[in-house]
Amino acid sequence: MNTSWWRNVTHFTAKEFACPETGEALVSCDLVVMLDKARTFAATPFTITSGYRSPAHNRKVGGVPGSAHTKGLAADIAAPNNEARHDIVRGLIEAGCVRIGIGKGFVHADVDLDKPWPRLWTY
């Protein structure tokens, strides 16, 4: 897998997207470049709480089967308060993200366009 595109990423390292079980960070360039733009627009920290998930890890954390996380197309971003949540969602929308989920304490963003879009959902 070509990972040389990471050198152009400003705000993130591959480690932040690694599966806690396998250590693999099999995330797509499209996802990370979108998040990098969103982080710039949001001007607030993006702490990745879940990036790539191996299928086994996805089952363990109760992810839906076929989750965009298992395809390296999704990340969850910590949203510790209402202001941060607003800024994160604004940044994502400005960066062109068309699939956003709002959870308690996190925002899910993905670029899995095989799934319906545009979508903004709650958990």
C-beta of 75: minimal distance to Zn ion in Å? Answer: 7
According to DSSP, residue 34 is labeled H
Q: Kindly tell me which residue out of 28, 31, 71, 76 binds Zn ion, with binding defined by CB under 5 A.
A: 76
Position 112 contacts Zn ion (CB under 5 A): no
How many residues contact Zn ion, by CB under 5 A?
3
CB closer to Zn ion out of 2 and 122:
122
Q: Give residue 110's identity as a one-letter amino acid code.
A: D
CB closer to Zn ion out of 74 and 79:
74
Q: How far is CA 50 from CA 4, 53, 61, 77, 110, in A?
A: 22, 8, 10, 7, 12
CB closer to Zn ion out of 2 and 68:
68
CB closer to Zn ion out of 82 and 123:
123
C-beta of 76: minimal distance to Zn ion in Å? Answer: 4
Determine the Cα–Cα distance for residues 97 and 90; give it in Å rounded to an integer. 10
Exposed/middle/buried for residue 32 (C-beta within 10 Å: 0-12, 13-18, 19+): buried
| Binding site residues, Zn ion, CB under 5 A | 74, 76, 108
